[in-house]
């Protein structure tokens, strides 16, 4: 009986010791998670400046890139060069070195770091962290082995994407944009969706990159009027001509990328065929002629699924409708590509594409470029094309822009 009573006296002491040890362990684990950045994205977090970001020192990045050696340079992004690097633990990285004279200043740089380090999706390039030191503004991304989609599609190389891979890429891009528009807490309008801003990993999985031009729709407004920033040939007409920005502007750009993936041709370097001055016009012509399968890349030969080609062309033309309200949302476009949503047999406004404002803008721009290339009024042509589109815009070449 005494031993029983004695045992009961010891229990509170044991419980106290166990409780204290457990508390220490829990706080230790929470500390480790916080230190490694796992507890940074929570309610009440201010995306404007994330002081809990993973921060790299300039010394770390210089070691990783061999002091930004020219042999490590893998591309030129919208704001500066991109270098391949390797961290001390063996992790491969891509370092975007932003120009100190870039229009994107320190505040915008911190915005990008704070917002995008929290984004986690299989079809969005992971931002590991960054560095602000001296005059250096650096972003550190996961490394993508197969470069950009534009590089694979438009450059002469041994890598030819088969049809199943192209379909996988189309669906993957749609999933990434659906996440940015509708699933991410940030609700991001990318504003510069294009083939050079889609990177491919070792398994040819697409990941959307370069959010340097993205903005948050913080007030949940239907559109955002802002300074136009994007790439000629991918921008929706209402955005290029009047600065009217909605999520549907990204949908339009996605439609152009779909046509490029199917055809293997760049919209901006499309050689006119008859009255068709751009890839979009050519796609519409083929669909109206009952020959949408001819849109498929000649490199594929007969190794294509004609029904799938026709389906993607139809989705692309829906996405590039002149009227934003007629375009599907990204989740609807994804559903069509995956076969969960029926693709309409009749496409709205298909017969009026050649009279569309977007084609007029492209025709005007093409004439100005031809004028510039012929050496007649070169300076005027450059400034005039900007006036046509209502802004100073970035031109696009297949090898340009990474991350």
Buried b / exposed e over 178-189, threshold 16 CB at 10 Å, is: bbbbeebebebb
Look-up of token digits 């007969």: 302
Region of 184 on the Ramachandran plot (φ > 0 left; ψ -120 to 50 alpha; else beta): beta
- Nearest Cα neighbor of 235 from 205, 278, 206 is 278
Q: Is 135 a catalytic residue?
A: no
Catalytic residue among 50, 135, 162, 192: 192
First to last CA, the chain: 75
Strand partners, 84: 94
- Nearest Cα neighbor of 245 from 233, 268, 229, 260 is 229
Helix axes 163-178, 306-319, angle to 10 degrees: 30
Tokens of residue 214, six digits: 């993205």
Hey, which residues are catalytic here? 192
């Amino acid at each position: 009986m005494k031993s029983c009573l004695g045992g009961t006296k010891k229990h509170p002491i044991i419980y106290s010791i166990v409780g204290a040890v457990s508390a220490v362990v829990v706080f230790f684990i929470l500390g480790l998670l916080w230190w490694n950045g796992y507890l940074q994205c929570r309610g009440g977090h201010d995306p404007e400046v994330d002081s809990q970001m993973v921060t790299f020192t300039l010394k770390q990045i210089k070691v990783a890139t061999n002091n930004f050696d020219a042999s490590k340079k893998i591309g030129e992004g919208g704001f500066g060069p991109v270098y391949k690097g390797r961290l001390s633990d063996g992790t491969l990285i891509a370092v975007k070195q932003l120009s100190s004279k870039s229009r994107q200043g320190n505040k915008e740089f911190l915005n990008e770091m704070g917002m995008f380090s929290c984004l986690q999706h299989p079809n969005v390039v992971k931002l590991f962290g960054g560095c602000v030191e001296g005059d250096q503004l650096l972003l550190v991304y996961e490394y993508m082995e197969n470069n950009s989609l534009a590089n694979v599609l438009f450059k002469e190389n041994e890598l030819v994407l088969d049809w199943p891979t192209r379909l996988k890429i189309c669906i993957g891009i749609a999933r990434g944009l659906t996440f940015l528009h509708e699933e991410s807490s940030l609700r991001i309008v990318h504003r510069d969706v294009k083939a050079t801003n889609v990177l491919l990993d070792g398994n040819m999985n697409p990941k959307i990159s370069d959010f340097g031009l993205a903005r948050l729709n913080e007030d949940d407004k239907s559109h955002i009027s802002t300074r136009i920033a994007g790439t000629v040939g991918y921008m929706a007409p209402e955005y290029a001509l009047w600065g009217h920005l909605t999520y549907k502007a990204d949908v339009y750009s996605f439609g152009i990328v779909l046509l490029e993936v199917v055809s293997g041709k760049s919209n901006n370097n499309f050689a006119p065929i008859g009255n068709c001055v751009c890839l979009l016009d050519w796609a519409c012509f083929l669909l109206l002629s009952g020959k949408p399968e001819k849109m498929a890349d000649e490199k594929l030969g007969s190794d294509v699924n004609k029904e799938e080609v026709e389906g993607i062309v139809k989705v692309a033309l829906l996405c590039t409708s002149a009227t934003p309200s007629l375009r599907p949302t990204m989740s609807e476009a994804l559903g069509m590509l995956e076969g969960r949503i029926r693709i309409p047999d009749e496409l709205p406004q298909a017969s009026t594409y050649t009279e569309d404002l977007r084609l007029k803008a492209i025709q005007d721009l093409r004439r100005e470029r031809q004028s510039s290339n012929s050496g007649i009024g070169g300076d005027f042509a450059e400034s005039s094309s900007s006036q046509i589109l209502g802004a100073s815009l970035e031109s696009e070449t297949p090898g340009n822009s990474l991350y």
